[in-house]
């Protein structure tokens, strides 16, 4: 049967689409979907090391959430994740918003600052973690040295060893690392606001605060949606900075423990102290995944609704 030119075009078009779509789908299924599904399946079995044992239904999930040993550890870590989320929302995203506003107004040297603020984001998290660990070293770190040199000896602390400051120190290190990202996204959002709106507001004699609150903040809502959602996901998957700076145990005595560390310790074991339990690790990973998917979707939907078209 002869093929009409139109049919040939469609065929060509279709094979082109297939060529573009199939490889990523295969890649995603093999390296993303399949591992997630197998982790889900693993969670229903008992494990001896890496040898799969009996099917035990929901026992792993029960132990992770309510067990006498795992339960308190998991909830303790969960609270720290929530704490980090709230603190980073204020410091990292809030700080980013104000930094963006400063850069938006193009002060002297703004081109330099625009780059400078983003540089830490480019550094590897592992390097940032080690760097801050050195800065915060109680005896030769620059933070304490700086305090000593200006006579504030009483404020010097073993930052990462003190249970009242350790988690805060991790959060600040994280904010230092990533604040350039919200700054850049907000800056782009602000530059998208039509200048006549801002000028009109200025002509009407609005104060800076009214301008920020009434015009800029609502009009950068799409940026807020993205940033809040990403931070939510990041805060509950938080691992690298705590791992590098305080180790797998959430030292000191669990006061910096987060779910990522608990998962790693549980699934792969902690060389220096514990044994591996793949089933409970998978159960925790599954719960964490479901939690993030459900809440991140709800958060996105809610944030989307407050976005304004212009």
Partner 1 sequence: MRGLTMNLTRRMLMGVAMGGYLLSAGAAMAKTELTFWSWRQEDKTFYQDIIKKFQEKEPDISVKFETYAPENYQTILSTALAAGRGPDVIQARAYGNLESIATPGYLLALDKQNVPELANFPDSALAAETLRSDSKVYAVPFAMQAQLVVYNKKIFKDAGVNPPKTWDELMALCQALKAKNINPFSNGTATAWQNETIVGGLLSSMLGKQFEEDIVSGKANFTDPRFVNALTKLKDVSQYFAPNFTGVDYPSSQQLFVAGRAAMFAGGSYEVANFKNQNPTLDLGVFPAPVLKAGDEALIATYYDGGYAVNAKSDKKDAALKFVRFLATPEYGTAFTNTLKNLSPIKGIKIEDPITQEVAKLAEHSMSYLMLVRFRYQEPSGSVLLQSNVQKMLAGQQTPEQAAAEINKGVATYYKPFQK
Handedness of CA 13, 18, 21, 24 (dihedral sign): negative
Residues 182-241 that bind partner 1 (CB under 8 A): none
Residues 26-55 that bind partner 1 (CB under 8 A): 37-38, 41, 48-52
69 vs 191, beta carbon nearer partner 1: 69
Of positions 94, 138, 218, 222, contacts partner 1 by CB under 8 A: 138
Q: Could you give the residue ranges of the DSSP H alpha helices within the chain?
A: 5-28, 34-42, 59-66, 70-88, 95-104, 110-122, 125-135, 142-149, 166-178, 180-192, 195-203, 208-210, 217-219, 221-236, 240-246, 259-268, 278-305
276 vs 300, beta carbon nearer partner 1: 276
# binding residues, partner 1 (CB under 8 A) = 40
- Contact letters for partner 1, residues 146-185 (x by CB under 8 A): -----------xxxxxxx----------------------
180 vs 279, beta carbon nearer partner 1: 279
Question: How distant is the alpha carbon of residue 213 from its chain centre?
Answer: 26
Take residue 39 and report the two structure tokens written for it: 């982790």
42 vs 101, beta carbon nearer partner 1: 42
Region from 63-71, 101-109, 176-184, 283-291 binding partner 1, contact rule CB under 8 A? 63-71
7 vs 274, beta carbon nearer partner 1: 274
Residues 248-267 that bind partner 1 (CB under 8 A): 249, 251-254
Of positions 268, 289, 291, 295, contacts partner 1 by CB under 8 A: 268
**CB atoms inside a 10 Å sphere around CB 159:** 24
Give the nearest distance from C-beta 246 to partner 1 in angstroms: 8
Of positions 64, 70, 170, 179, contacts partner 1 by CB under 8 A: 70
Give the nearest distance from C-beta 307 to partner 1 in angstroms: 41
Give the nearest distance from C-beta 42 to partner 1 in angstroms: 10
18 vs 275, beta carbon nearer partner 1: 275
User: Among 210, 169, 225, 220, which residue's Cα sits nearest to residue 190?
Assistant: 220
Q: Which residues are 48's β-sheet partners? A: 51
Does residue 139 interact with partner 1 by CB under 8 A?
A: yes
Of positions 247, 291, 303, 307, contacts partner 1 by CB under 8 A: 247
Report the alpha-carbon distance of residue 259 to residue 14 in Å, rounded: 44
Take residue 92 and report the two structure tokens written for it: 């990292």
Region from 95-103, 184-192, 269-277, 302-310 binding partner 1, contact rule CB under 8 A? 269-277
Report the alpha-carbon distance of residue 101 to residue 187 in Å, rounded: 7
Backbone angles phi, psi at 178, to 5 degrees: -110, -5
Q: How far is CA 11 from CA 4, 21, 26, 284, in A?
A: 11, 15, 21, 46
Backbone angles phi, psi at 272, to 5 degrees: -95, 0
Q: How far is CA 72 from CA 3, 78, 234, in A?
A: 68, 10, 23
Q: Applying CB under 8 A, which residues contact partner 1?
A: 37-38, 41, 48-52, 68-70, 133, 136-139, 157-163, 246-247, 249, 251-254, 268-277
């Amino acid at each position: 049967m002869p093929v009409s030119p139109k049919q040939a075009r469609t065929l060509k078009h279709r094979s082109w689409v297939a060529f573009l779509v199939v490889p990523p789908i295969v890649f995603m299924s093999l390296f993303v979907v399949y591992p997630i599904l197998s982790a889900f399946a693993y969670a229903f079995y008992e494990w001896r090391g890496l040898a799969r044992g009996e099917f035990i239904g929901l026992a792993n999930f029960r132990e992770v959430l309510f067990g006498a040993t795992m339960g308190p550890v998991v909830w303790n870590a969960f609270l720290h994740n929530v704490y980090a989320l709230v603190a980073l929302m204020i410091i990292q995203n809030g700080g980013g918003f104000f930094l963006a506003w400063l850069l938006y107004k193009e002060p002297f040297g703004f081109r330099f600052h625009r780059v400078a603020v983003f540089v830490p984001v480019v550094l590897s998290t592992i390097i940032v973690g080690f760097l801050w660990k050195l800065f915060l070293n109680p005896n030769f770190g620059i933070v304490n040295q700086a305090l000593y040199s200006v006579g504030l000896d009483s404020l010097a602390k073993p930052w990462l060893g003190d249970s009242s400051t350790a988690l805060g120190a991790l959060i600040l290190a994280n904010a230092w690392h990533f604040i350039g990202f919200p700054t850049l996204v907000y800056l782009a959002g602000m530059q998208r606001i039509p200048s006549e709106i801002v000028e009109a507001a200025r002509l009407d004699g609005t104060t800076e605060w009214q301008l920020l609150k009434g015009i800029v903040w609502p009009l950068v809502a799409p940026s807020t949606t993205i940033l809040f959602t990403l931070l939510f996901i990041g805060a509950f998957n938080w691992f690298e900075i705590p791992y590098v700076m305080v180790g797998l145990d959430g030292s000191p005595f669990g006061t910096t423990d987060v779910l990522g560390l608990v998962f790693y310790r549980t699934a792969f074991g902690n060389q220096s102290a514990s044994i591996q339990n793949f089933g409970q690790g998978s159960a925790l990973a599954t719960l964490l995944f479901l939690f993030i998917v459900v809440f991140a979707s709800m958060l996105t939907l809610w944030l989307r609704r407050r976005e304004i078209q212009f």
